Amino acid sequence: MSLETIKRLVGDAITKENLSFVDSYIYKWFGIFIPIGGNCGYAITPSHTHPSYMFVVSYDDQSTIYVADKRFESYPQSMFCLSPNIPHHEMQNYIPPKYCALFIDEIRFQKALQLYTNEPFSFDTKTINIQNSHIDTYIKKFISESHNTHPSRSIILENTASLLTHEIIRTILGFGANKTQTIQNQKLNIVIQHINSNYEKELSLDDLATLSTLSKSHFLKLFSASLDMTPMAYLTHIRLQNAKKMLLSHKLTITDISRQCGFNSPSYFSKIFKNSYNETPKEFQQRNK
């Protein structure tokens, strides 16, 4: 697919050099971009925009997106949603992130959305759990069909892109899902995003349960079932993942990193880090010089 088609989806300023570490799968009004071994050069450009709707499906917790002065961290099986023409950028990462960035033409997406609601609906910076959706299935089908040379290829790509668009909308809106489960998932997503964006602050289980508007015991049960770890374990995990990014930059001292990641002291940070990765922060940093 030509660079001109990519520009219509991603933005006029994108270049072939920006895509040096990116695999692209494109069909007219729909595109999938996957970073391979490095960051997308356009994604890390400060305050860039896209003419299309963007949905970033994450498979790890190595991605950070800034929209204005707000930070949004990824987590496995999450999807970050952004409407067209919103300035943002991805933080350059020394650990290659694992995600698929989906771009859907604005007009095509809005036509699909109108089948579900006529009410104004903002997708700006919304992050949702997609664990129980079929989004991954359709992504794999689209990528697989992109390699096909059969005359039916364009028909299958058109239909798969359409199915994926509707699956994204249905997942976001909770279409066809159990209403109670949908509401609970939305509450968990609010807490997860709060942790991802405020991990350096002092956060307690009581604080997080209050934010979810659920009882403490019910919140703990739902969170643990959804992410296979407790809220406080997840908080520690996010702090450590961000600490690893900072350590790899070699720009801050270990004391500064421990403070900026919400640990009470450098010694406690080192202890937790070694318990998790079988090496101290200093050993990790020296090994990755």
Residue 1 confidence class, pLDDT cut points 50, 70, 90: low
Which pTM value belongs to this model?
Answer: 0.79
Using the predicted structure, report yes or no on whether residue 96 has a pLDDT greater than 80.
no
Residue 254, C-beta contacts closer than 8 angstroms, at least 6 positions apart? 247, 266, 269, 270, 281, 282, 285
- What tokens does 83 get? 């409407």
Mean pLDDT lowest among 42-56, 109-123, 159-173, 227-241: 109-123
Decide if 3-173 and 233-287 have a common fold: no
CATH topology of domain 233-287: Arc Repressor Mutant, subunit A (1.10.10)
More confident residue, 177 or 151: 151
User: Where do the DSSP E strands lie in 124-205?
Assistant: 126-129
Cα separation, 107 vs 105, in Å, equals: 6
Chain segment 196-213, per-residue pLDDT in tens: 889 999 999 999 999 999
The residues spanned by each domain of the chain are 3-173, 179-227, 233-287
Q: What's domain 3-173's superfamily in CATH?
A: Jelly Rolls (2.60.120.10)
Angle at the Cα of 225 (from 221 to 231), degrees rounded to 5?
Answer: 65
Counts of helices then strands in the chain (DSSP H, E): 11, 9
Chain segment 124-149, per-residue pLDDT in tens: 788 888 988 999 999 999 999 999 98
Chain segment 215-249, per-residue pLDDT in tens: 999 999 989 988 889 999 999 999 998 999 889 88
Element (H, E) at 89: strand 89-90
Angle at the Cα of 205 (from 252 to 180), degrees rounded to 5?
Answer: 120
Share of the chain above pLDDT 70, in %: 98
